[in-house]
Amino acid sequence: MNEVKKIMVPVDFSGNSQKILQSAVMLAGKFQARLSVVFVVQSFDDYSGFFVPHIPISQFEEEMLQAAQRKMTAFVAENLTAAVPYDAKVLQGDVANEILRYAEEAKIDLIVMGTHGYKGLEKVLFGSVAEKVVKMASCPVLTINPYR
């Protein structure tokens, strides 16, 4: 494994994300690395045929992006200190694809992410972002089960 100077942490703002972030903070401290905290707003392009919202999808997505940015600001303020250099990004699109794209674009050295532990039908219905990232990432991926 190459030198770790940039660590990406995908989050969903849950309590589990806080646990994963603290693990990433510990690693960043040991490696003297910069953290990139990333949240992806799921794009509704693939779902537009399933329902008819009361507002245009583009307006809804813009409101989701603004709300996610506010949530990200609060999340990093609550969970990070100036001791670890970081940047926070809100992206939009397919969650796994955006994580992979950003990791490549930002030249991330390590991705630290949680697993939700879906099995059986849940996994078929919801897929596994972590599984796709592990299989397709151009850098090492450390997955953490936040329930342990």
Is 140 within the bounds of a domain? yes
The per-residue pLDDT string of the chain (148 residues; one tens digit each, 9 = 90 and over) reads: 679 999 999 999 988 899 999 999 999 999 999 999 999 998 766 555 555 555 566 677 788 889 999 999 999 999 998 888 999 999 999 999 999 999 999 999 999 998 865 555 545 444 588 889 999 999 999 998 877 6
Q: Are 25 and 76 in contact (CB under 8 A)?
A: no
What CATH number is associated with residue 66?
3.40.50.620
The pLDDT assigned to 108 comes to 98
* Structure tokens that stand for 58 in this block: 């583009």
Cα distances from 54 to residues 5, 46, 57, 58, in angstroms, run: 45, 18, 9, 12
* Structure tokens that stand for 137 in this block: 């990432």
Domain of 110, in residue numbers = 6-144
The pLDDT assigned to 127 comes to 58
User: What is the domain count for the chain?
Assistant: 1
Beta bridge partners of 90: 39
CB burial of 96-110 (b: ≥16 within 10 Å; e: otherwise) equals: bbbbbebbeeeebbb
Is 92 within the bounds of a domain? yes
The pLDDT assigned to 125 comes to 46
Is 1 within the bounds of a domain? no
The pLDDT assigned to 48 comes to 54
Is 23 within the bounds of a domain? yes
The pLDDT assigned to 59 comes to 74
Is 107 within the bounds of a domain? yes
